[in-house]
C-alpha cells in the first residue's frame, strides 16, 4: 500500500472517525444549507472577511442566501511583520475574488472604523473572525489589544444594533489540558490562547448582563481547507505537506508525529457550526471539532495515498516543545445539543475534497 508507512517502513494504522452523514444521498463535496432562514434583507458583518474562515463565510452567504447584504471588513495583508517574521495580517484579496458584497478596509483597533460600523449600518448578525491568530507571536500587547479590547467594542455594537454575535474563539485556550477538552477546563500555553480565553470570559459577562442578547463563541480546533493558503507558515499541515509532496519531496514531520494527535476539522464543518450558531438553542461557548483525534502521520499517509506517491517521511526535532499541544480532541456533545451541529467530514473525506484545490494552488501559486 503506497504512502501508508511510518518511520522505519512499518505500516502506520489510520484511525477512522465516524462523523455523522445527513443521509444516504449525501455525496462528498455537496454544499449544504444549514438554516431554513432565507435571511432576506438581513445585514451581516464579517470581520476578518478576507481571511480563511471569514472569506469562506462570505461565499457561503453569497451562494446560499443571496438576499442578504454581506459587509466584509479586513485590514488586508501588507508588509508589516511580527517579531517572529510572520506577517501581521494574512487577509488577501484573492480569497474574495468573485465576492459581490461590500468590502471595507479597516483595522478593528481603530476607533474611526468602529464609529463607521456603528453609525452607518444596522447589523442583524456579526461574525467576528478578525484576530492576531499566530500562536507563536510574542507581542502580548498587540495580541490583547486586537483580540480582547476590539472584541469588547464590537460587542457593544452588537448590543446597540440588537445583532446576533458569533465569534471565533480557539481550542488553543486548552493548552495541554487533558483530552477530550471541555469548556471550563482551560490551560492556555501561549498569549494567543490566553487572549481567546479572555474573550470568552467577556462573552460570559455579556451573556449574563444582556439576557436578550444572542451571543455564541466557537472554539475552533485545527481547521484546514480552501482559502487558507495565504496564511503562509500558519496554514494547516494538510496544505503544507501536500505541496511538499507535489514538489517531489517526502513530507517533513516532527519526530513522533504518529503520537502527536489533533482534532482536524474541515472548513465546511466550521461553516456549518457558524450558521447553526445563528439559531442556537442557547447562548454559550462551544467546541468546534470532529470529536476525534488524528495524527500528523495520518495526514501525510492520506495525502500520499490521494496523490499516488510513496516518498516515505522526513523527520525533524520539534522546536516548540513547551508551547505545543500534543493531544487535542474536542468534546462536541454540548455543541451537538445546543447547535444541532454534526460534523460531516472525516479526515479522509476532507483531504479528498481538498486535493483539487491543493493541486491548483501548487500550480498557480507555488510552482510558477
- Please say if 192 is a catalytic residue: yes
Cβ(290)–Cβ(346) below 8 Å: yes
Catalytic residue among 192, 220, 266, 311: 192
Among the listed residues 357, 281, 262, the one whose alpha carbon sits nearest the alpha carbon of residue 29: 357
Give yes or no: 231 in active site. Answer: yes
Residue 351: name the closest of 234, 231, 241 by CA.
Answer: 241
**CA–CA separation, 355 and 125 (whole Å):** 33
Q: Which three cell numbers stand for residue 320?
A: 516548540
Distance CA 7, CA 26 (A): 36
Catalytic residue of the set 231, 305, 341, 354: 231
Q: CA angle, corner 44, sides to 40 and 45, nearest 5? A: 170
Question: From the CA atom positions of the chain, what is the Rg in Å?
Answer: 20
Q: Is the Cβ–Cβ distance between 113 and 107 less than 8 Å?
A: yes
- Residues marked as catalytic: 192, 231
Amino acid at each position: 500500500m503506497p504512502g501508508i508507512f511510518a518511520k522505519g517502513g512499518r505500516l502506520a494504522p489510520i484511525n477512522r472517525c465516524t462523523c455523522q452523514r445527513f443521509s444516504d444521498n449525501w455525496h462528498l463535496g455537496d454544499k449544504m444549507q444549514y438554516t431554513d432562514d432565507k435571511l432576506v434583507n438581513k445585514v451581516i458583518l464579517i470581520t476578518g472577511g478576507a481571511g480563511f474562515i471569514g472569506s469562506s463565510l462570505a461565499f457561503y452567504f453569497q451562494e446560499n442566501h443571496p438576499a442578504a447584504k454581506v459587509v466584509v471588513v479586513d485590514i488586508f495583508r501588507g508588509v508589516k511583520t511580527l517579531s517572529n517574521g510572520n506577517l501581521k495580517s494574512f487577509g488577501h484579496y484573492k480569497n474574495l475574488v468573485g465576492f459581490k458584497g461590500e468590502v471595507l478596509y479597516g483595522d478593528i483597533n481603530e476607533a474611526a472604523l468602529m464609529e463607521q460600523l456603528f453609525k452607518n449600518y444596522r447589523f442583524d448578525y456579526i461574525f467576528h473572525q478578525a484576530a492576531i491568530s499566530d500562536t507563536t507571536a510574542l507581542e502580548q500587547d498587540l495580541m490583547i489589544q486586537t483580540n480582547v479590547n476590539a472584541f469588547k467594542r464590537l460587542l457593544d455594537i452588537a448590543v446597540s444594533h440588537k445583532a446576533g454575535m458569533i465569534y471565533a474563539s480557539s481550542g488553543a485556550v486548552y493548552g495541554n489540558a487533558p483530552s477530550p477538552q471541555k469548556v471550563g477546563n482551560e490551560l492556555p500555553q501561549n498569549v494567543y490562547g490566553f487572549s481567546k480565553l479572555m474573550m470568552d470570559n467577556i462573552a460570559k459577562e455579556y451573556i449574563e448582563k444582556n439576557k436578550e442578547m444572542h451571543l455564541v463563541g466557537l472554539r475552533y480546533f485545527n481547521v484546514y481547507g480552501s482559502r487558507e493558503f495565504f496564511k503562509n507558515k500558519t496554514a494547516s499541515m494538510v496544505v503544507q505537506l501536500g505541496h511538499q509532496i507535489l514538489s517531489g519531496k517526502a513530507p517533513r514531520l516532527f519526530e513522533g508525529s504518529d503520537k502527536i494527535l489533533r482534532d482536524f476539522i474541515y472548513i465546511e464543518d466550521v461553516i456549518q457550526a457558524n450558521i447553526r450558531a445563528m439559531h442556537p438553542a442557547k447562548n454559550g461557548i462551544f467546541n468546534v471539532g470532529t470529536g476525534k483525534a488524528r495524527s500528523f502521520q495520518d495526514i501525510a499517509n492520506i495525502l500520499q495515498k490521494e496523490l499516488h506517491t510513496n516518498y516515505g517521511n522526513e523527520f525533524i526535532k520539534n522546536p516548540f516543545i513547551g508551547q505545543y499541544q500534543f493531544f487535542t480532541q474536542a468534546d462536541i456533545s454540548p455543541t451537538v445539543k445546543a447547535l444541532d451541529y454534526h460534523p460531516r467530514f472525516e479526515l479522509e473525506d476532507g483531504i479528498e475534497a481538498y486535493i483539487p484545490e491543493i493541486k491548483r494552488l501548487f500550480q498557480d501559486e507555488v510552482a510558477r
